[in-house]
């Protein structure tokens, strides 16, 4: 069958990734093509993808958006690695680069969350729906939308006169991160439903936010208006049917649990675990001296480019020099790679009864030779927290940035990977650490619980509330490090079993076909 995937990110293209959704859109089309399907992948061009060498203009067309005529261009764009059966498309308009050329997401002020991105992705959704409806893009058997950024396609295909050919198209909606929902007012703002599409009639009750009745919720629209709803791990599919209790550290349906329970009762909601790639030339070992050299090269590159936080770079440069002069002997290298967000850092920031943060307590619990290396960037306030802790703890190196040369080396060099996410729809970092033979210490939520088996391939902690979770994290860390130190044979067995785990995209693609797509011809 012909499948069209619509998403904000695509790591098959140079510069197409911010988070895990980029990995999925890179890998699942290839796996589906191996099952004999034809896949077309559509993203905004961000005024960048269309400039890639080999990009080819296929069409330009006009549409009405915001009460004005707008011209959108359609490009076929070359991937990093061509794949038979998969074609990559970028839609271009100046609004798609509202945050700067090549920047996928914008940072709006707290009093107007999602405003710029919502307008950008509303136009993108309209352009996608019109291009499909009028044959500029292949008319699909399955229209697969990813996260709130593309959810308006499900809305527009039902009511826009230029999308009539899409009316009965089998539509799938994937939830990669339910906490981001694209909520905007119905009216009264330049970034609102009426400002975008005031001439259309909508099923307001299907797209209204359940907590803010004067707002549209794009994520909810995708859930309520699609034939199948997909969560990116089985456990996450169960968690999001329960109400969130953030005060006690549980993150579930984020206000949409009633819709998700209804989808589950109707047989529309399915949890399918993401996969990972397992290349034959995978790096499985890296000496600390080589890792520190790579870290130094990346750090100097960020400093030269003026990216990241200057204070973080100064501290990291000092810490690297200290670590290089004092090689660890029997100590463990703990590692962490990921976006710096509340999802990832909440437990590390949580204050214990003695006033220390979870991260400070963790660092204080390490042995004299143990060290923690963290790579990531994201929320500015959370970066400041990590910088402050790094300035006061010589066993903590915080690298504030991203370089393609670093993650694989970190996975290969580390002894224990930390992933204490408060929620995790699927997660990819734990899979990548395990494939390099690095066991993981994870919070037992979402895809982490589906991929790490306690005391068999890693270590899992849970807790009734935030405080319990931090205490359990510290306890399991102590147990893991004791096992490594006192029972090396058992530790090596655990490492070996972790490295043998396989989370394959071909298995995910088979489940997509069986659970999400099989009714497309019905």
Least confident residue range of 18-22, 225-229, 365-369: 18-22
Q: Tell me what pLDDT residue 462 has.
A: 97
* Alpha-helix runs per DSSP H in 371-455: 380-392, 407-413, 429-435, 446-451
pLDDT band, very low/low/confident/very high, at 520 (cuts 50, 70, 90): low
How many C-alpha atoms does 358 have within 13 Å on its Cβ side?
Answer: 22
Q: What are phi and psi of 121, to 5 degrees?
A: -80, -25
Residues with Cβ within 8 Å of 329's Cβ and at least 6 positions away in sequence, in order, are: 369
| Mean pLDDT of the chain, nearest integer | 96
CB 157 within 8 A of CB 129: yes
305 with 403: CB under 8 angstroms? no
245 by Cβ neighbours in 10 Å (0-12 / 13-18 / 19+) ranks as exposed
Sign of CA dihedral 77, 79, 82, 87: negative
Structure letter (DSSP) for residue 512:
I
Q: Model confidence at 132, in pLDDT bands (50, 70, 90)?
A: very high
Give the tens place of pLDDT for each residue, 276-332. Answer: 999 998 998 999 999 999 999 999 999 999 988 999 999 999 999 999 998 888 899
Strands 269-271 and 333-337: unpaired
The 3-state DSSP class for residue 415 equals coil
Q: What pLDDT, on the 0 to 100 scale, is given for residue 109?
A: 85
For position 198, what pLDDT does the model report? 92
pLDDT above 60 for 121: yes
Binning pLDDT at 50, 70 and 90, where does residue 490 land? very high
Q: How many CA atoms lie within 13 A of 332 on its CB side?
A: 25
Looking at the chain, how many residues does it have?
A: 522
- What crossing angle do the helices spanning 288-305 and 310-325 adopt, rounded to 10°? 160
Among left, alpha and beta (phi > 0; psi -120 to 50; other), residue 159 is alpha
340-368 per-residue burial string, b: 16 or more CB within 10 A, e: under 16: bbebbbbbbbbeeeeebbbbbbbbeebee
Q: How far is Cα 143 from Cα 163, in angstroms, rounded to an integer? A: 13
Whether residue 97 is predicted with pLDDT greater than 80 in this model: the reply is: yes
68-90: average pLDDT: 97
Q: Order of strands across the sheet with 38-44?
A: 56-65, 68-76, 86-92, 38-44, 2-6, 142-146, 170-175, 228-231, 269-271
- The 10s digit of each residue's pLDDT in 238-285 is 999 999 999 999 999 999 999 999 999 999 999 999 999 999 989 989
- Please report the beta strands in 111-232, taking only residues with DSSP state E, as ranges in sequence order: 142-146, 170-175, 183-185, 215-217, 228-231
Tokens 């904000």 — which residue? 8
Residue percentage of the chain with pLDDT more than 70: 99
Is 70 exceeded by the pLDDT of residue 157?
yes
* Separation between Cα atoms, residue 233 and residue 272, nearest integer Å: 5
Q: What is the pLDDT of residue 107?
A: 84
pLDDT higher than 80, residue 379: yes
pLDDT digits (tens, 9 = 90+) for 428-482: 999 999 999 999 999 999 999 999 999 999 999 999 999 999 999 999 999 999 9
Domains of the chain, start order: 2-275+506-517 (3.40.50.2000), 288-501 (3.40.50.2000)
Tell how far CA 469 is from the center of its chain. 23
pLDDT-derived band at 110 (thresholds 50, 70, 90) equals confident
Q: Which helix (H) or strand (E) holds 362?
A: helix 358-365
Query: Shortest CA distance to 348 belongs to which of 363, 333, 337?
Result: 363
> Taking Cα atoms as reference points, which of 215, 207, 209 lies closest to residue 254?
209
56 forms beta bridges with 76
Question: Which residues contact residue 79 at a Cβ distance below 8 angstroms, ignoring those fewer than 6 apart?
Answer: 12, 13, 86, 88
Average pLDDT over residues 16-28: 93
Tokens of 247: 């005060």
């Amino acid at each position: 069958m012909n499948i069209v995937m619509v998403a904000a990110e695509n790591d098959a293209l140079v510069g197409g990734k911010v988070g895990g959704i980029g990995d999925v859109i890179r890998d699942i089309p290839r796996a589906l093509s191996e099952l004999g399907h034809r896949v077309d992948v559509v993203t905004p061009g961000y005024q960048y993808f269309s400039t890639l060498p080999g990009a080819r203009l296929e069409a330009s067309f006009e549409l009405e958006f915001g009460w004005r005529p707008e011209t959108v261009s359609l490009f076929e764009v070359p991937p990093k690695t061509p794949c038979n059966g998969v074609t990559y498309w970028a839609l271009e308009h100046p609004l798609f680069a509202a945050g700067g050329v090549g920047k996928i997401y914008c940072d709006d002020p707290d009093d107007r969350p999602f405003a710029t991105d919502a307008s950008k992705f509303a136009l993108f959704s309209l352009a996608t729906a019109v291009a499909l409806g009028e044959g500029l893009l292949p008319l699909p058997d399955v229209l697969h939308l990813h996260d709130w950024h593309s959810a308006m396609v499900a809305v527009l295909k039902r009511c826009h006169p230029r999308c009539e050919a899409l009316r009965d198209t089998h539509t799938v909606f994937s939830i990669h991160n339910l906490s981001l929902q694209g909520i905007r007012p119905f009216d009264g703002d330049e970034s609102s439903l009426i400002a975008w599409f005031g001439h259309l009639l909508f099923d307001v009750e299907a797209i209204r936010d359940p907590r803010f009745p004067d707002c549209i919720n794009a994520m909810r629209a995708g859930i309520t208006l699609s034939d199948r709803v997909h969560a990116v791990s089985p456990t996450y599919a169960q968690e999001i049917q329960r109400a969130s209790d953030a005060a006690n550290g549980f993150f579930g349906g984020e206000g949409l649990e009633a819709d998700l329970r209804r989808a589950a009762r109707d047989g529309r909601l399915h949890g399918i675990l993401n996969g990972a790639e397992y290349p034959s030339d995978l790096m499985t070992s890296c000496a600390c001296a080589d890792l520190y050299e790579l870290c130094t090269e990346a750090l100097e590159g960020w400093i030269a480019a003026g990216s990241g936080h200057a204070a973080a770079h100064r501290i990291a440069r000092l810490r690297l020099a200290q670590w290089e002069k004092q090689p660890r002997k029997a100590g463990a290298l703990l590692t962490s790679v990921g976006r710096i967000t509340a999802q990832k850092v909440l437990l590390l920031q949580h204050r214990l009864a003695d006033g220390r943060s979870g991260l400070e307590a963790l660092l204080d619990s390490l042995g004299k030779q143990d060290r923690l290396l963290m790579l990531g960037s994201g929320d500015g306030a959370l970066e400041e927290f990590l910088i402050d802790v790094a300035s006061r703890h010589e066993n903590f190196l915080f690298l504030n940035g991203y370089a393609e040369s670093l993650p694989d080396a970190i996975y290969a060099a580390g002894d224990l990977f930390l992933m204490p996410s408060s929620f995790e729809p699927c997660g990819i970092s734990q899979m990548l650490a395990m494939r390099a033979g690095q066991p993981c210490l994870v919070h037992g939520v979402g895809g982490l619980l589906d991929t790490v088996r306690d005391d068999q391939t890693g270590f899992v902690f849970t807790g009734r509330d935030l405080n319990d979770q931090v205490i359990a994290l510290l306890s399991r860390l102590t147990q893991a490090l004791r096992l490594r130190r006192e029972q090396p044979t058992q530790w090596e067995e655990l490492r070996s079993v972790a490295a043998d785990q396989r989370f394959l995209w071909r298995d995910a693609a088979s489940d997509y076909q069986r659970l999400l797509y099989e009714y497309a011809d019905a």
